Amino acid sequence: MDSIWIEGGQAAGECLRGDVEADVAVVGAGITGVAAALRLAAAGRRVVVLDARRAGAGNTGRSTGNLYATVSSGLAKLRGKWNDADATLAVVARARAIDWIEQTARELGIDCAFRRVPLHQCVLDGASQELGMLRDEHEAARALGLGAAWGQQVDGWPLRPAAVHTLPGQAHFNPWRFVSGAVAALRRQGVPVYEHSRVIDIDADAGVVTTPEGRVRAGHVLLATHTPMGINLLQTKMEVYREYGVAAPLEGRGPSDASVWVRDGKWSLRTHEADGLRWLVIVGGKHKTGEGGERGDGWYDALRAWGREHLGLRGYSHAWSAQQYASADGLPYIGRSGHGRVLVATGMGADGLVWGAVAGEVVDTLVRGPEGDDDPLARLLTPRRLAPLKSAKSTLKENATVARHMLGDRIEARRDDAGPDDVPRGGGRLLKIDGEVRAVHRTEGGELIALSPVCPHMKCYVKWNGADGTWDCPCHGSRFDVEGRVIEGPSLEDLQRLG
């Protein structure tokens, strides 16, 4: 089972072969990459887009497809870290980005099921401490100029909430269809979008991006890769999470079109309609990357069980997971990275679809020239910002987590006396073999595949992800398949195969 959004059937684009030149090389063809590429191309820039796999098949194609001006960590928290003028600037930029997605889909004729819907945030248990937090959230939304309503019902849904905070006029869409349509439009405009072109090296000073079979030399390099590739100081400021999604077809009409966040339980729900069918999507089960354990399908089962109990869902047809990089101060890092010609767009947390579209605007502003750095939105989101008071707690906590994994995981692996018989079919485990620690996976056919457990990025040990059948690095989120190939994250290299 895979994401409800990602469709097969379309021919993949060509991979990059040979040397090309561009004003801007965009690495990553998710929403961030295509939003930037569309704006840059419209401004007359020569743009080249590269993606390691299929355009949109990374975290964009595994998102909720929800579009909202608020932020999922909460406006009340945002106001606690930033003044109201800055928080308003962020919220207004997000609302403008939703308008841009709507307008772009209409102008390019992209059939991405874009719909304006309300976003309901609710608390089911009246005794939950989330109730007071929901009230704070409602007040924060109103203070920042978002028209918000307070009530006790999620209209058209079979939920019995204690309280509901509603933002009207938000939206949802099919993110894969939007990106696929945008890529087709870019190609029609003469912008090359190379797929299956994994970047293996970046020369930040020269502006040269290298793939296995080609190179792009560019005035600017935008890393629209969710997290910067290679080693970047920003990685020490971000927490990395995984989250799960399931979808089930609805019998009959089902709930009315909306996005719903159930705050006590941390479930994100939405309807989706395509090709005459209606679906219910549930996303939740968030945990730090590398700390999900060997739970196998357990994360998905929890979502399915909640949907059965509360919404009467049956016959789940899709299941998928995605990764998030959360910044330390509640706003993403978008702009010049401090490394040569490289621009980054990262730290978007669970709100990456809208921040990705915002990044397109900011990158377009910055590429126009040095005066772009004075743009208020670019100044707010710059990765060079120093916000020690806003981010100190989170940064310290995350660096302690990385230190714990760097040292503790090594000690733990050396103490473990498990042997090959302890690795089940389809499972994985760190084992000591001839005194050396190995990351060992047993295929469904019974074959053992041994890899080095050392993540090439900064040498943490990877951990088995039982839900997705991958090796995940708990330090900065690099992920590898059972053969050791990089799936995502900052690592530019694969895990070493040892048997």
CA-based angle 311:316:322, to the nearest 5?
100
Q: Least separation, in Å, of the C-beta of 404 and ligand FES?
A: 13
Number of other CB atoms surrounding residue 404 within 10 Å: 12
Residues 88-127 that bind ligand FES (CB under 6 A): none
490 binds ligand FES (CB under 6 A): yes
What b/e sequence results for 259-294 when a residue is b if at least 16 CB atoms lie within 10 Å of its CB, and e otherwise? bbbbbbbebbbbbbeeeeebbbbbbbbbebbbebee
Q: How far apart are the C-alpha atoms of 198 and 27, rounded to whole Å? A: 9
Nearer to ligand FES, 305 or 403 (CB): 403
Using the rule CB under 6 A, which residue among 476, 480, 484, 495 binds ligand FES? 476
Nearer to ligand FES, 458 or 498 (CB): 458
| Residue with Cβ nearer ligand FES (42 or 403) | 403
The yes or no reply on residue 458 touching ligand FES (CB under 6 A) is: yes
Which residue, 134 or 322, is less far from ligand FES as judged by CB?
Answer: 322
Smallest distance from ligand FES to CB 464, Å: 14
Q: Which is nearer to ligand FES, 449 or 458 (CB)?
A: 458
d(CA 120, CA 168): 8
Nearer of residues 28 and 56 to ligand FES, judged by Cβ: 28
User: Tokens 């097969």 belong to which residue?
Assistant: 8
41 binds ligand FES (CB under 6 A): no
Contact 278/313 with Cβ under 8 angstroms? no
CB of 463 to ligand FES, least distance (A): 10
**Near ligand FES by CB under 6 A, which window of 9-17, 154-162, 204-212, 454-462?**
454-462
What is the smallest separation between the CB atom of 201 and ligand FES, expressed in angstroms? Answer: 17
Task: Answer yes or no whether residue 460 interacts with ligand FES by CB under 6 A.
Answer: yes
Selected binder of ligand FES within 61, 245, 383, 489 (CB under 6 A): 489
In the complex, minimum distance from the CB of residue 477 to ligand FES, in angstroms, rounded to a whole number: 6
> Is 179 a residue that touches ligand FES (CB under 6 A)?
no
**Identity of residue 410:** R
Count residues binding ligand FES (CB under 6 A): 13
Q: Which pair of tokens denotes residue 259?
A: 């996005």
Does the footprint of ligand FES cover residue 475 (CB under 6 A)?
Answer: yes
The window from 210-218, 280-288, 362-370, 458-466 that contacts ligand FES (CB under 6 A) reads 458-466
In the complex with ligand FES, the residue whose CB is nearer, 255 or 456, is 456
Q: Which is nearer to ligand FES, 438 or 457 (CB)?
A: 457
Using DSSP bridges, classify how beta strands 149-151 and 214-223 pair: parallel, antiparallel or unpaired. Answer: unpaired
Instruction: State yes or no: residue 234 binds ligand FES (CB under 6 A).
Output: no
Closest CA to 357 of 175, 139, 481: 175
Query: What distance in Å separates the CA atoms of residue 18 and residue 26, rounded to the nearest whole number?
Result: 17
**491 contributes a contact to ligand FES by CB under 6 A:** yes
Minimum gap (Å) between residue 410 Cβ and ligand FES: 12
Report how far residue 81's alpha carbon sits from residue 433's, in angstroms, rounded to the nearest whole number: 49
> Please, what is the minimum distance in Å from the beta carbon of residue 405 to ligand FES?
8
Applying CB under 6 A, which of residues 197, 321, 337, 478 lies at the interface with ligand FES? 478
| Smallest separation (angstroms) from ligand FES to the CB of 184 | 33
Stretch that binds ligand FES, among 53-61, 154-162, 243-251, 476-484 (CB under 6 A): 476-484
Cβ(75)–Cβ(140) below 8 Å: yes
The reply to whether 448 sits near ligand FES by the rule CB under 6 A is: no
Burial per residue of 220-240, b for 16 or more beta-carbon CB atoms within 10 angstroms, e otherwise? bbbbbbbbbbbebebbebbbb
Nearer CB in complex with ligand FES: 79/405: 405
Nearer to ligand FES, 174 or 227 (CB): 227
Only segment of 211-219, 265-273, 348-356, 451-459 that touches ligand FES (CB under 6 A):
451-459
How many CB atoms are located within 10 Å of the residue 171 CB?
A: 22
CB of 455 to ligand FES, least distance (A): 3
Decide whether 175 or 490 has the Cβ nearer to ligand FES: 490
Q: Is 455 near ligand FES (CB under 6 A)?
A: yes
What's the rounded Cα separation, in Å, for the pair 402 and 461?
11
- Closer CB to ligand FES, 321 or 491, in the complex: 491
Nearer to ligand FES, 130 or 239 (CB): 239
Q: Which of 213, 232, 236 lies closest to 223 in space, CA to CA? A: 232
Contact between 45 and ligand FES by CB under 6 A: the answer reads: no
Nearest approach in angstroms of CB 408 to ligand FES is: 14
Residues that bind ligand FES (CB under 6 A): 455, 457-460, 473, 475-478, 489-491
